[in-house]
Amino acid sequence: LNAEIGFVWVDGQKAAEFNARTEVMHQSLCLILKVAAAVYSGLQYFGSEDKLDNVPIYLLLAGWLCVQPLMLFTHWFRGLWKKQVDFKSFTVPMNVHFVIRRIGEWMMLMLGESILSLVIVDNIAKDNDRKYYLVFFSGVLGVIFLQILYFESQPHDASHHAMRRSRLGGITFNFLVQIYSAALILVGVSYKMMLTEFKSDDYHRTIRFLAAEEGSDGHEEQDKHWRTIPKLFCYSLAATFVTLDLINLSHSGVAAAVHRCFSETTMMAVKAIVVVVLSRYCIVVGVVVISYFIPEGYSHYIALLGFGAVALQVGIRLLQTMCFHDKVKRSSL
């Protein structure tokens, strides 16, 4: 079946035609907001606006947010008010094995961007060499352990994947992967901001402060920039931990996770609470709280603390595997 949808030519069955038309409709609103953001930022860049602001960033965020409920309506809500829905009539099934491989490659790409953020830095002041190497090696080790933490948390068999478990599980997984990817990008940006703090004075004199307040001093904006580094890094790192737990939960299902903790003995429930909940989320809360107590000029220590937090998460993940090694049935929730 060949079907033409505007300027899009679809070669496939009716489901492919419907899916392509729906995708074009969903992305059209997002495209409008992206074009508006590009035009607005262009006007600001060429001086048509007296005061710079973050409206283009908000427009891009709105473009991403507006697509999510539309996708959820198309792929899941339709089955709520109809008992028997033939989803294959309007959606194209995905190869779960291929998705696992491609998502893994995507995560490697996101982690690689963090490594590039650490490598591509020059003009380091001589008196900051020790701080630079502390951030550099802590960052590299932290990214390596983030890779271990992610792949240790994911199923390597399609039968245990969220997209094979249920439609809602697959939708939740795809949404959380986007959040997790954004958090990884922020981690890499944070490493880059830490390293630029150690550049020579000649570099800092040539900094162009984008979106600076009218009448503000460059040194004031630079101090504000440096005070932001610990919070941005800690928030993004905590977001990776929480999102990864939610991704893991989308694979197993809520009911299966609860059954796994409380099905055998009281001691198993105690181990579940201590190992899975308290220890891991004490690290998350600790990472966020520490960001408020880093003195000015000591933000390089936050990279070392971040590596320690990721290493602890990996250790707890391995301990969890030892405590809950049994296989359970997947939930449909």
Q: What is the pLDDT of residues 49-93, one digit of tens each?
A: 566 778 888 888 888 888 777 777 666 655 555 556 666 666 677
What's CA 204's distance to the chain center, in Å?
A: 30
**pLDDT tens-digit series, residues 230-257:** 888 999 999 999 999 899 888 888 777 6
Question: Do 79 and 85 touch, CB atoms closer than 8 A?
Answer: yes
Q: Which residues pair with 5 in a beta bridge?
A: 8
At residue 80, the pLDDT reads 55
At residue 144, the pLDDT reads 93
Q: Which residues are within 8 A (CB) of 154 and not within 5 positions of it... i.e. 6 or more apart? A: 100, 104, 247, 248, 251
CA distance 281 to 268: 19
At residue 2, the pLDDT reads 42
At residue 331, the pLDDT reads 38
Q: Which residues pair with 3 in a beta bridge?
A: 10
CA distance 112 to 140: 10
At residue 171, the pLDDT reads 82
Regions in the chain scoring below 70 on pLDDT: 1-13, 15, 48-51, 73-91, 122-128, 199-226, 257, 260-275, 296-297, 323-333
CA distance 154 to 210: 39
At residue 268, the pLDDT reads 62
Q: Name the packing angle between helices 167-196 and 55-75 (round to 10°).
A: 160
